[in-house]
Amino acid sequence: MKKKLITIACLAAFIAISPACKKSFLTEHDPNAITLDNNFKSPNDILLAVNGIYESLRSSNNIGESSDLWTDQRSDDTGTNDNQSNAGEPFQFNNFSLVPSNTYLKSHWVSLYGTVTRANVVLSYIDKVPFADQSQKLQYIAEAKFLRSLIYFHLVRLWGDVPLVTKQLSAPEVAAATFREKQATVYAQIVTDLKDVINNSPLPNLQTGAGIGRASKAAANVLLGQVYLTMATTLNQSDRQANLTNAKTYLTNAYNMRTFGALSSIPYTDVFDVNKKATCPELIFQIVNKQGDINFSSSLAANNQAKGETINSQKAASGVGYNVTHDLINDYETGDPRKDFSVKYANDPIVKDWFVTKFRDVSDGAGKLGYGGNDWILMRYADVILMLAEVNNDLGDDATAIQYLDMVRARAGMPAYAASILNSDYATKYPTLKLAILHERRVELAFEHHRWFDLLRAFTTDQLVAYFKGKAQANFGSAQLSNFTTKDRFYPIPFDEYKLNPTKMYQNPGY
């Protein structure tokens, strides 16, 4: 995918160089010192800084449409089959041969902490600004905390223990803060922030109008529910029941905020229609792109398209598009319309393989340069419904879990679970309700960057190794499943970070 790194001018505008040195040979000044003290004077200054946090998500190294390298390509859904030339470092992710010096890994780390820093700047300086409208101030605080929580959730799932910083640091403080905090502590901060967003902010229940792409209480409830669900399945099991109960509470809160009745009232294709992205009631939180704009458009449709194809974009493709594993293709049930919408087989003389068609913009607005209008969807209601199926299954309430599972299957036009489990092929592939829900998440949310995190919730580390090694190598192209070991549960700490303090920035096992 196109590596589109956008300069965040709105935040940079707040940075002012320290006052010039007086003419004294005895007075020393750090030439690299910056100060923000005089640059936050009005609520509009804070708004621009908050906008800068959102804009940082757009970076190709952050969590937007280009973040497949750190998510889907790590899973069993997609990959980079070319392990030659400039594909060498990206290939390490789905080949399970990642090394701490990988520059893509470091870029992801730096970008994520860049977003955290932007949020911390807002939260550190907002009390110095006079607000006539206190609800406006509370809104900005909530948005900064929500976005910081979103990024820390990403960090802690990928790396485990990570540095935890909640304020703007001075230069001397940076070195002191360079140490890994235990996962439980990071999760506790995420929970604290999100509860404050939910309980003490004037955020709207849902994104609407000019608020499309901004935080809402529904989004905060979804995130907190998913956080508790992840804690229940990956942290101390003595807290499992309480975490599951909390996950159910917050996910149910988000579900009850929806403005539609049955999920089946929303066609699956509407969710990804560039003409309905501002009105589709299934969407909860997204990164907004601008069709036709060279800087703020989406390259998703064009970059996914394989040579000789025109289904995604008017832009002519010259490569393989976005590789799809045959393992995923084989997981679609016969007659599932989501397969025909989401993937297609390219039958070009040069390219003969499956590629992604889920994200399309063939409009004249996107044009032959492929400046698409696809928003990147971070949260939607089918995901919430399937997490409710998952949490109820984990709580032992299979009847309720099946009700939620069937909502998604009904929308797709697939048989209910009770009928499907009588099918020998389905029952053999998904002998438990847990595996049936995991399968449904895979085909419903394919290429939306959920699969790797779903696998981390579904299996212990040893189970995950067995899961991957139980798959057929022939369905994974060049990526070697035999490389997968217990070390691959987490990413390595980037070497440049580890060498700062090998004791406090200790490396993850196996690297």
The answer to whether 455 and 310 are in contact (CB under 8 A) is: no
For the segment 296-316, the average pLDDT, to the nearest whole number, is: 97
pLDDT digits over 443-468, tens only? 999 999 999 999 999 999 999 999 99
Q: Scanning the structure block, which residue is given the tokens 């004249």?
A: 364
For the segment 120-149, the average pLDDT, to the nearest whole number, is: 98
* Cα angle 160, 164, 165; round to 5: 155
Query: What does DSSP say about strands 352-356 and 34-35: parallel, antiparallel, or unpaired?
Result: unpaired
**Which domains are present in the chain?**
1-201 (1.25.40.390), 300-325+336-374 (no CATH)
Average pLDDT along the chain:
92
Q: Where are the alpha helices (DSSP H) in 305-364?
A: 326-329, 337-342
Indicate yes or no: pTM above 0.85: yes
- Quote the CA–CA distance of 473 and 72 in Å, as a whole number: 18
- Quote the CA–CA distance of 165 and 418 in Å, as a whole number: 48
The pair of structure tokens assigned to 357 is 């068609």
The answer to whether 155 and 191 are in contact (CB under 8 A) is: no
- Quote the CA–CA distance of 101 and 107 in Å, as a whole number: 11
Instruction: With a cut of 70, say whether residue 84 has pLDDT above it.
Output: no
Give the per-residue pLDDT at 18: 34
**Of 229, 281, 222, whose CA–CA distance to 253 is shortest?**
222
pLDDT digits over 88-126, tens only? 899 999 999 999 999 999 999 999 999 999 999 999 999
Give the per-residue pLDDT at 38: 78
The pair of structure tokens assigned to 220 is 């905060």
Percent of the chain with pLDDT over 90: 87
For the segment 71-82, the average pLDDT, to the nearest whole number, is: 86
Q: How confident is the model at residue 87 (pLDDT cuts 50, 70, 90)?
A: low
Give the per-residue pLDDT at 504: 96
Least confident interval from 19-33, 81-95, 134-148, 425-439: 19-33
For the segment 216-226, the average pLDDT, to the nearest whole number, is: 98
- Quote the CA–CA distance of 507 and 180 in Å, as a whole number: 10
pLDDT digits over 16-63, tens only? 323 334 444 344 545 445 567 778 999 999 999 999 999 999 999 999
pLDDT digits over 238-254, tens only? 999 999 999 999 999 99
Instruction: With a cut of 70, say whether residue 503 has pLDDT above it.
Output: yes
**Helices and strands in the chain, H and E counts:** 20, 6
Instruction: With a cut of 80, say whether residue 367 has pLDDT above it.
Output: yes
pLDDT digits over 175-212, tens only? 788 899 999 999 999 999 999 999 999 999 999 999 99
The answer to whether 52 and 143 are in contact (CB under 8 A) is: no
